[in-house]
Amino acid sequence: MNELIDKLKGEIIEQLNLEDVKKEDIDNDAPLFGEGLGLDSIDALELIVLLEKNYGIKVANPADGKKIFQSIRTMAQYIQDNKK
């Protein structure tokens, strides 16, 4: 799980162009939206694309996004549970 979290942090930094953010700056349990990383709605769409492109996971129900993208840890857990 820790390895996946680390990999995911790198992918998010690259995909979302978080230029001044380092992996160690991202708290595994901090909210991704609002506070924490302060991501916005376009970033949410990018994360959905990232899941599909890098892990083959389609988020069929947008309402699930709130739970999946709560933090890096919840995202990694979702990938672990759903990766094809």
Partner 1 sequence: MSDVNYISAFCRISSGKVNVNHSIMFTGEEGEAPAAFIKSVYKHYQLNYPKFYKMDGLCQLAFVASELLLKDNKITERYNKEEIAIVISNGSASLEIDTEHQQTISDKANYFPSPAVFVYTLPNILIGEIAIRNLIKGENTFFIFDKFDAQFTAQYINSLLNSGRAESCIAGWVEFYEGNYDAFLYTVEKTPGVIRAEHTAEQLLNIYK
Can you give the binding site for partner 1, defined by CB under 8 A? 16-20, 38, 42-43, 45-46, 49, 52-53
Q: Which two tokens stand for residue 16?
A: 């979302």
Q: CB of 45: closest distance to partner 1 in angstroms?
A: 4
Q: CB of 81: closest distance to partner 1 in angstroms?
A: 22
CB-neighbour burial class of residue 20 (10 A; exposed 0-12, middle 13-18, buried 19+): exposed
Q: CB of 43: closest distance to partner 1 in angstroms?
A: 7
User: 27-61 burial, b for 16+ CB within 10 Å, e for fewer?
Assistant: ebeeebbeeebebeeebbebbbebbeeebebebee
